């Protein structure tokens, strides 16, 4: 599918972003020239996926599209049980409804915002056990998504078993920069989980990119195929939640994969309540067909090499110009270290959001803040939570932009970098929601 994109002037963009209350989610898509807000649901489907759409079976129960998807999920991930959901957070809602209760502790590696939102909404707590290396953007570590086993064991030791319903491993770890988790680390986490008798759940939106990095960076996996690595990764998990809008290259969809019948039966009740009957759960038959096909395309080595190569192509240009970026480059996005880009701005002026606004004004490029706005307030104290990293994420949609577009993005950000000393003021909040505020927050100049 080819779409046209709209040019605009700097004056227009200054007006539009002001009207949008300095929140890039409030912009209309035709006010954006290159849209790097997210890689979620923004990919281009293939000819084969579009043909699959024509074959969708829209029966309420037992549709052939459901069985096609079931077969593809089992083939790719090894999970025997599955529930379709309309997207990733819906998978979290369903699974967590059946597993998490008030006061529970859920350790993991930098839980994604919707994951954390669904944990905190249930008055439970997400504990970040990511390795410290992840928070130093200058450090070259091949698996910055890894879980620190000492931190994890401390959590497991200091809380009763009945208060730890699961350990969540996010592959790749979005919040720390699209950074992969090594197979060695996955295995060690699974072994510890088994010792403490706690289920392991993978937040799997970018599982294929994670497998690609294992192949490229973990010597013992160099000769394995991406699909073999994927199967091995999932063999260490009890369940997975999936936002299919990422590595399965569809515009909408999600699912839960499970190893155990009992877990499936418990979650089914909530799936029917929130999403729909267990054989469609928020998805139409045609969408399940496209997703089944997308799971195969998203796990092809050549595709992954090209995609991750394009992300690195953008990252390298920025790095070569001295722009501070999370390194090594992640799978789906380049993360700009906004604190190092704008060192004079105080953290309470939302540094990464300020940089996102500046990049939009400069070139009509829409990125997204992964920083204090996203971190929300502490639900108990009501105070802002200041994460170690303030990042501007430039997320690359799958199979959409060319490297020419990447050149343009790099040029726009380099222009901002060259005038960075002039950016002396950030933003302040005018209005915010109590949870997941970054989507709707309203800001003005500080
Ligand atoms: C790691 C991770 N988990 C969960 C989600 C939520 O998925 P969805 O947007 O489909 O609800 C996302 C979305 O960006 C994600 O990146």
Amino acid 154: pLDDT: 98
CATH code for the domain of 106: 3.40.640.10
Same structural domain for residues 435 and 351? yes
What is the residue-wise DSSP string for 177-210? TSB---HHHHHHHHHHHHHHT--EEEE-TTHHHH
Residues 325-360 as b or e (16 or more Cβ within 10 Å = b): bbbbbbbbbbbbbbbebbeebebebbbbbbbbbbbb
Pairing relationship of beta strands 427-431 and 125-128 according to DSSP bridges: unpaired
Among the listed residues 320, 327, 335, 313, the one whose alpha carbon sits nearest the alpha carbon of residue 402: 313
CA–centroid distance, 421 to ligand 1, in Å, is 35
Q: Is residue 121 part of a domain?
A: yes
Amino acid 3: pLDDT: 86
Same structural domain for residues 139 and 182? yes
Q: Is residue 361 part of a domain?
A: yes
Question: What are the mean pLDDT values of the chain's consecutive 10-residue runs (446 residues total)?
Answer: 90 98 97 98 97 97 98 98 98 98 97 93 97 93 97 98 98 91 98 98 98 98 98 98 98 98 98 98 97 98 98 98 96 96 96 98 97 91 92 97 98 98 97 93 97
Same structural domain for residues 231 and 365? no
CA–centroid distance, 9 to ligand 1, in Å, is 33
Same structural domain for residues 86 and 116? yes
Q: Is residue 39 part of a domain?
A: no
Q: Is the CB of 279 under 6 A from ligand 1?
A: no
Same structural domain for residues 257 and 306? no
CB atoms within 10 A of CB 445: 12
Q: Are 80 and 325 in contact (CB under 8 A)?
A: no
Same structural domain for residues 170 and 269? yes
Q: Is the CB of 210 under 6 A from ligand 1?
A: no
Amino acid 127: pLDDT: 98
Q: Which residues are 429's β-sheet partners?
A: 443
Q: Is the CB of 88 under 6 A from ligand 1?
A: yes
Same structural domain for residues 227 and 309? no
Same structural domain for residues 94 and 229? yes
Task: Give the domain-ending residue among 242, 267, 297.
Answer: 297
Q: Which residues are 431's β-sheet partners?
A: 442
Same structural domain for residues 286 and 324? no
Q: Is residue 3 part of a domain?
A: no
Among the listed residues 366, 290, 303, the one whose alpha carbon sits nearest the alpha carbon of residue 333: 366
Largest CA distance in the chain: 61
CA–centroid distance, 204 to ligand 1, in Å, is 9
What residue's CA is closest to ligand 1, atom 10?
88
Q: Is the CB of 112 under 6 A from ligand 1?
A: yes
Task: Give the domain-ending residue among 246, 263, 297.
Answer: 297
Q: Is residue 42 part of a domain?
A: no
Same structural domain for residues 257 and 274? yes
Same structural domain for residues 87 and 216? yes
C-alpha distance from residue 196 to each of 181, 288, 334 (Å): 21, 36, 36
Cα distance between residue 326 and residue 340, in whole Å: 11
pLDDT tens string 266-307? 999 999 999 999 999 999 999 999 999 999 999 999 999 999
Task: Give the domain-ending residue among 252, 277, 297.
Answer: 297
Same structural domain for residues 197 and 292? yes
CB atoms within 10 A of CB 442: 14
pTM above 0.75, yes or no: yes
Q: Is residue 38 part of a domain?
A: no
Among the listed residues 331, 312, 72, the one whose alpha carbon sits nearest the alpha carbon of residue 212: 331
Among the listed residues 440, 414, 443, the one whose alpha carbon sits nearest the alpha carbon of residue 349: 443
Among the listed residues 303, 333, 337, the one whose alpha carbon sits nearest the alpha carbon of residue 315: 333
Q: Are 395 and 414 in contact (CB under 8 A)?
A: no
CATH code for the domain of 410: 3.90.1150.10
Q: Active-site residue numbers?
A: 60, 112-113, 203, 205, 246, 438
Domain of residue 409: give its range: 10-32+301-445
CA–centroid distance, 242 to ligand 1, in Å, is 8
Number of structural domains found in the chain: 2
Amino acid 395: pLDDT: 98
- The C-alpha R_g of the chain, in whole angstroms, comes to 21
Cα 127-166-198 angle, rounded to 5 deg: 120
Q: Which atom of ligand 1 is nearest to the CA of 244?
A: 10
Q: Is residue 374 part of a domain?
A: yes
């Amino acid at each position: 599918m080819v779409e046209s994109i709209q040019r605009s002037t700097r004056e227009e963009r200054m007006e539009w972003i002001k009207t949008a209350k300095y929140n890039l989610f409030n912009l209309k898509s035709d006010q954006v020239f290159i849209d790097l807000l997210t890689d979620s649901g923004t990919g281009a489907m293939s000819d084969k996926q579009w043909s699959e759409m024509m074959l969708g079976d829209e029966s309420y129960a037992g549709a052939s599209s459901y069985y096609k998807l079931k077969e593809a999920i089992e083939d790719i991930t090894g999970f025997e049980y599955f529930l379709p959901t309309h997207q990733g957070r819906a998978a979290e809602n369903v699974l967590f409804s059946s597993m998490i209760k008030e006061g529970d502790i859920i350790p993991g590696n930098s839980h994604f915002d919707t994951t954390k939102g669904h944990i905190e909404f249930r008055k439970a707590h997400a504990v970040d056990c990511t390795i410290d290396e992840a928070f130093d953007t200058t450090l070259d570590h091949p698996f910055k998504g890894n879980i620190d086993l000492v931190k994890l064991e401390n959590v497991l030791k200091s809380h009763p078993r009945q208060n730890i319903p699961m350990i969540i491993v996010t592959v790749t770890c979005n919040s720390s920069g699209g950074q992969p988790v090594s197979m060695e680390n996955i295995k060690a986490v699974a072994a510890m989980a088994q010792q403490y008798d706690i289920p392991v759940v993978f937040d799997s939106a970018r599982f294929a990119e994670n497998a690609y990095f294992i192949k490229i960076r973990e010597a013992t996996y160099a000769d394995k195929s991406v699909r073999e690595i994927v199967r091995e990764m999932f063999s260490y998990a009890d369940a997975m939640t999936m936002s299919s809008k990422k590595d399965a290259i569809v515009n909408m969809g999600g699912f839960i994969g499970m190893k155990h019948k009992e877990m499936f039966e418990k979650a089914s009740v909530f799936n029917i309540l929130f999403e729909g009957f267990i054989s469609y759960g928020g998805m139409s038959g045609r969408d399940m067909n496209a997703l089944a096909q997308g799971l195969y395309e998203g796990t092809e080595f050549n595709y992954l090499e090209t995609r991750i190569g394009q992300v690195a192509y953008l990252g390298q240009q920025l790095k070569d110009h001295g722009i501070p970026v999370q390194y090594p480059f992640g799978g789906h996005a380049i993360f700009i270290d906004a604190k190092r880009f704008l060192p004079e701005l105080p953290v309470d002026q939302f540094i990464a959001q300020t940089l996102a606004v500046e990049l939009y004004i400069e070139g009509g490029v829409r990125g997204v803040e992964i920083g204090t706005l996203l971190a929300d307030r502490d639900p108990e104290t009501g105070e802002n939570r200041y994460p170690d990293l303030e990042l501007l994420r430039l997320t690359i949609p799958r199979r959409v932009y060319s490297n020419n577009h990447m050149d343009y993005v790099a040029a726009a950000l380099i222009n901002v970098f060259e005038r960075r000393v002039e950016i002396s003021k950030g933003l302040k909040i005018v209005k915010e929601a109590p949870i997941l505020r970054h989507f709707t927050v309203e800001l003005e100049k500080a």
